[in-house]
Every structure is written in C-alpha cells, then in structure tokens.
Structure 1
Amino acid sequence: MKLVKLTAISAAVLASTAALAAEPVVVVDGDEAAVYQAEPVAVAYEAQPAAQYNADAGVVRNTTGAVVGGTKTFFNTALNPAAVSAEIGTLGYGANIAWALNDRVELQAGWAGGDVSDIKDNFDVNDIEYKIDDADFSNPYLGVQVRPAANWFTVGGGIIVPDNDIEVTANATGPNYRINNIDYASDDVGSLSGTVEHRNKLAPYLTVGFRPNISDNWGVFGEVGAAYLGKTDATVTASGTGNVSVTGGPDVDASVVAERAQKELEDKNWLEWMPIVKVGATYRF
C-alpha cells in the first residue's frame, strides 16, 4: 500500500510541476523521502520569416540581413527576387527583376528595346518632321527604386547601356524643305533619308512615378523622366543629284542640302535627352 500511495503522490507532483524546467521535486511519506528530477518541458517556437510582405508599400520588407548574413542566405536572396515586371514605353518593350533591400529601396535589372517605331512614329527637328521608318532599340539598365515615404510614390535612377539605331525620312512642308530658315525645293532635293545613333555608351537616367498595389501579389506602375544619351551621329543622304533651287539665294547641290539637314539633326536636343515614359505591371513574390 505504501508503494501505491508513493507512486500516486509522485505522479501528481510531477504533473503539477511539469512547467518547471529543472527544479528537483522531493516527496516525503512518513520517515521515507524520495527525490525526483523533473524533465524540462519542450516549448515550441515558431520562427519568424526573414522577409515579410508589406501590403501598403508593395515591397518585401527587410532582406538586408539576408544579404549580409552569410554566403548561403546571400545566394538565397539573389535567387529569390522580390518582383518581376513587364513594361512598355519610349525605350521600347521590356521587363525587369527587382530585389528589395527594405520597405523603401529596391534594386532593379532590366532591358527595354525592340522596334519603337510602333510606339513613336515621328519627331520634329526645327521645321522638318522626320518619320521613323525603323528603330532598333536595345537598352539594358541597372537602377534603384526608392519610396521616400514608404508608399506608392517612387523616385528611380540608374544607368542605361544604350544601343539604339534609328532610320528616318524627312517629310517636306509644302513644296520645300526648310533647314535653318532656308527653303529648298523638295522636288529638286528628292527624299532626305538617314540614320541616327547615340554616342554615349553609358547613359544616366532619373524618373519619378507611382507603384500602387491592386492585390497582395499584383501591382501597376507608371514612370516619367529622362535619360542623357549625349550627342548623336547622323548620316543623311538626298535622292536628288542635281542643283536645288533655293528661295532667295543661289542654287546648291542636293548633297549640300543633305549635309545641312544632317548637322541640324545631330544638334537636336530631343535626341540628346531621351524622354522616358513607361507603364507596366508587377508581380510580387
């Protein structure tokens, strides 16, 4: 009977003290005493994720620790981007991948290009309108998107590596081409056609925009800004081969008209500062 009582008392005491990690339990029955060591209770902790989605800002919060925490977590972060985006704009059709450093900063790597003559079909150089016949654009870029207030408003900047070839044809105004306020008979000149290529191999850019979320994973964006692509190299030729009538002046050769149009085209500031206007959609992981 003593053994049964001792066993029952011991079980009750051990059950009531299960939350005590390593405190000894003493059970006394008459003149006899027994000492029991309580086993520590295992407590389960749920590990918090290293990255947490921020529905207001639309970015992945706090991956900085993963980037600097070690080789394994660095590669995990690099191989698991925060978002992918598709875009269309003045630089062409494209896409980018983004990695979030925190709820305000994302790094981006992307490309935009293709035939932009479908997006923009002409531009003006002083008094001549040029039609874009073909535009083979290639604009890989690296940049950063900053949310100053950790909301939908963004400021972006970075570097473009432009490789853009543009083929153009001049449209005459009435019976003349007007170049530097001088009128040349379009029938004598024939067609003026040429190519334009930017000199800069690296082009800095700056944009402002918005990136609201429409769900936990999907969002849209729009950006406006400019890229400094530098001066252009142009080549313009005239289909005419004879003399050209000049209003109020002596006749000139058609090749002279082409040279003057080429110089005017190379001096065009619109081509030096390329406007950036783009819209797109984003999927966030």
Structure 2
Amino acid sequence: MKFIKLTAISAAVMASTAAFAAEPVIVVDDADAMVYEAEPVAVAYEAEPVAVAYEAEPTNTNTGIVGKTTGAVRNTTGAIFGGTKTLFQTAINPASVSAEAGTLGYGASVGYSLNEKTELQAGWAGGDAADLFGGDFDADDVNYEVDSDFSNPYLGVQLRPASNWFTVGAGIIVPDNDIDVRANAEDGSYKIDNVTYSSADVGTLEGTIEHRNKLAPYATIGFRPNITNNFGVFGELGAAYMGKTDATVTASGTSATAIAAAEAAEDELEDKDWLEWMPIVKVGATYRF
C-alpha cells in the first residue's frame, strides 16, 4: 500500500509539473511577440498519467478477472462434485432388481444399465436347490438321492442384441456348493460298474461331491419381456462349466465287500463327471426403476 501511495503522490507531482510546463511561454523580441508551447516537457510527462491510470486499472480490472476466475474455479468444482455425485448415485441406484429360482438355487440380482442393449448384473443364487431338479440322479445303474447346499455368487453381462425381449448372457460364477448323495439299493443290491453288491453286506452308501473349479464361466440365452413400464418377467437357459468332480463315498458296512463297493461307487461318480456342465434353468421377475 505504501508503494501505491508513493507512486500516486509522485504521479500527482509530476502531473502538476507537466501542467505548469504546458503553460504557454511568451517571448518578446524586437519584431513580434511569439508564443511557444513547451511541448517537449508536456510530451515527456504525458506517459505519467497513463502509468497512474495503469495503477488504478489493475485494481478494478484484476479484481474483475479474479472474480471471473474464481467463479470459473467454483463452477468447475461444482461440475466435478456434480459428476462425482452422479457416479455415486448410479452406484447405489441400480437400473433393476430381480428375484429368481432355478438350478443354481433361489436368489436375487441387481442390474446396472450401460445403454439400451447392455446391462451389468451382480447376483447370488443358492440354498437347497436339489428339489428344483428332481432331488436325485442316476450314475449308470445306481440311483442317488441328493441333498444340496448351494452358494453361487455371480457377475455377468446381459445383452439385448436386437433391442427387444431376446437376451444373451455371459459371466463368471464363484461356486461353493455342498452336494451330499446317498445310493438307493434296488432289489436288495447295488449294481456298480457291472458288478452286483448285496446291500446286506454293504449297508448304506453315502458320500459327497465337490466341483474342482473355483471360477465357473457361464453362458445363457433367454427372454425378458416387460409386463408394465416397471415390471417384467424372464426365463433363461444355459450352462456353467463347473469342472470335474471329486467324490468321496463311504459304506456303513465294514466288510471287504462294503469297502470295494464304496470305492467302485466313488470312481463311478467321478467318471460320470456329474454336473461338470451345470445346467442353468431359471425363471424370475424384474422391477425396473
């Protein structure tokens, strides 16, 4: 501030000097009275008022510029926070929620629309799904009852290639499925790998099956018609590659025949690769926001 005041005072003094210097100078000689303007002095000091004006101008002009710049920064900040808010809102507000039931179990999913043809999905299906596909299966000549405890979180993408109800899906399942089996004797015997074992000698045959894959890719086709603007239904068919299985079978009997029957049943289950390709059949309903 001192510098500005000193500059202003200097400028005022110089301006006053210039004003006095600019007064006409009258020279009288023998011939005529001549009037001369002290132009060089006036010109020499003409620049000073500009400098003073320059000192005054930045205060208003720069303030205006700073004000505008600050406004621009403020607006940019608002735009940034606005964009962040939009992303946050998108993350916590999915485009749809669905409930489903099928061979993977009972579950639900959320969908995030990327565009009118593409939707990301994240979901989970599980529980006791054995009853959904009959509760039993045949491995060669032996029928097994199944008790299951499924857990199948998944992440995928759902496409509408023709922008209509037809869909194509693909993604990854992280399976953690417990499958318990129990062999059913037929006419008092088990026929395993073309060998007949008496159920009286073997007792009961029980075991577990586990898939080897920790990640299971899947693919589906389906339909998703809309019933109203918000509600719709869907159905999907496909398969997930769960990989080969590891089986463990034990017999309640302790004889050599019982042990042999359990080992044969174990090998047969693994050779069959039961549900190596896990079928996906599911139906459900969707609510769109």
Shift of 1:72: 2.9
Q: 1:178 and 2:203 equivalent?
A: no
Normalised to the residue count of structure 2, the TM-score between the two structures is 0.69
Q: Distance in 1 between matches of 2:187 and 2:166?
A: 47
Aligned to 2:278: 274
Please say if residues 156 and 172 of structure 2, whose CA atoms lie closer than 8 Å, have aligned partners that are also in contact. Answer: yes
> SS where residue 184 of structure 1 aligns?
strand
Q: Which of the pair is proportionally richer in helix?
A: 2
Name the amino acid aligned to 1:107. Answer: L
Residue of structure 2 aligned with 1:200, choices 213, 227, 244 = 213
Map residues 76-155 of structure 1 onto 2, 5 A cutoff: 76-120=89-133, 121-132=135-146, 134-155=147-168
**Shift of the alpha carbon at 1:88?**
0.3
**Displacement of 1:140 after TM fit?**
0.2
CA drift of 1:270 comes to: 3.4
Whichever structure has more strand as a proportion of its residues is 1
Provide, for residues 123-164 of structure 1, a one-character-per-residue CA deviation record: whole Å limited to 9, x for no partner: 1111111101x3111000000000110100001010000000
Matches within 5 A, 1:207-246: 207-243=220-256
**Structure 1 residues not aligned, in runs of 5+:** 1-68, 244-252
Kindly provide the CA deviation profile for residues 172-205 of structure 1, in whole angstroms up to 9, marking residues without a partner as x.
Answer: 2223211112221222111100011111110000
2:274 & 2:285 partners in 1: Cα distance? 28
Aligned equivalents of 1:206, 1:127: Cα separation in 2: 31
| Aligned residue identity for 2:154 | Y
| TM-score, structure 1 normalization | 0.70
Q: CA RMSD in A?
A: 1.4
What secondary structure does 1:270 align onto?
Answer: coil
Q: Given residue 196 of structure 2, which amino acid in structure 1 is its aligned partner?
A: D
Paired position in structure 2 for 1:9: none
Q: Which runs of 5+ in 2 are unaligned?
A: 1-81
Equivalents in 1 of 2:95, 2:271: separation in Å? 42
Distance 2:222 2:143 in 1: 30
Letter in 2 for 1:175: G
- Inter-partner Cα distance in structure 2 for 1:101 and 1:124: 43
Q: 2:277 and 2:222 mapped to 1: Cα distance?
A: 18
* Post-superposition CA distance 1:91-140 (Å, at most 9, x none): 000000000111111000000001113323111111111101x3111000
Tell me which amino acid in the other structure corresponds to 1:122. D
Work out the CA distance in 2 between the residues paired with 1:198 and 1:270. 9
